[in-house]
């Protein structure tokens, strides 16, 4: 997945619970910046909800998907190869949307997966 030197461009998605319930904005970014060779590119919609929200994603798929669309367009715009987050539910939603709709391959990774490679 992420072999060789980590000469990759990534962007970080703030999961709502991490960001707003726990107030962690900088901590994951600090960790990412400490990864050698990795370039962190901020996206415009970093703090916008990805639209997962548990049962919401299947009870209101049209709204959930519209939210994913806004999020993923912002990810793709940055030109990164990877989107990293610390919330696996968000990643399921983001990866699910990207692999169906993204014009180019963008992979999703959990922050722990990135750090485990170190």
Distance of CA 1 to the CA centre of its chain: 16
Q: Residue 6 carries which DSSP code?
A: -
Among 2, 6, 16, 78, binds other proteins (CB under 8 A): 16
Q: Which residues from 25-84 bind other proteins, rule CB under 8 A?
A: 47-49, 51-68, 70
Distance of CA 43 to the CA centre of its chain: 10
Nearer to other proteins, 38 or 68 (CB): 68
Q: Which two tokens stand for residue 93?
A: 């939603």
Q: Which is nearer to other proteins, 5 or 58 (CB)?
A: 58
Cβ-based nearer residue to other proteins, 33 or 88: 88
Tokens (6 digits) for 110: 């959990």
Q: Rg of the Cα trace of the chain?
A: 14
Regarding 109 and contact with other proteins (CB under 8 A), the answer is no
- Scan for tokens 């970014």, then name that residue: 29
Residues that bind other proteins (CB under 8 A): 16, 20-21, 47-49, 51-68, 70, 92-93, 95-97, 99-100
């Amino acid at each position: 997945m992420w072999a060789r030197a980590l000469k990759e461009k990534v962007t970080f998605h703030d999961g709502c619970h991490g960001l707003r319930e726990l107030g962690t904005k900088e901590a994951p970014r600090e960790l990412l910046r400490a990864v050698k060779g990795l370039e962190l590119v901020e996206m415009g919609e970093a703090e916008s909800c990805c639209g997962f929200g548990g049962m919401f994603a299947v009870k209101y798929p049209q709204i959930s998907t519209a939210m994913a669309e806004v999020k993923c367009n912002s990810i793709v715009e940055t030109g990164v190869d990877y989107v990293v987050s610390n919330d696996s539910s968000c990643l399921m939603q983001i990866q699910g949307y990207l692999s169906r709709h993204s014009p180019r391959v963008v992979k999703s990774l959990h922050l722990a997966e990135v750090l485990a490679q170190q």
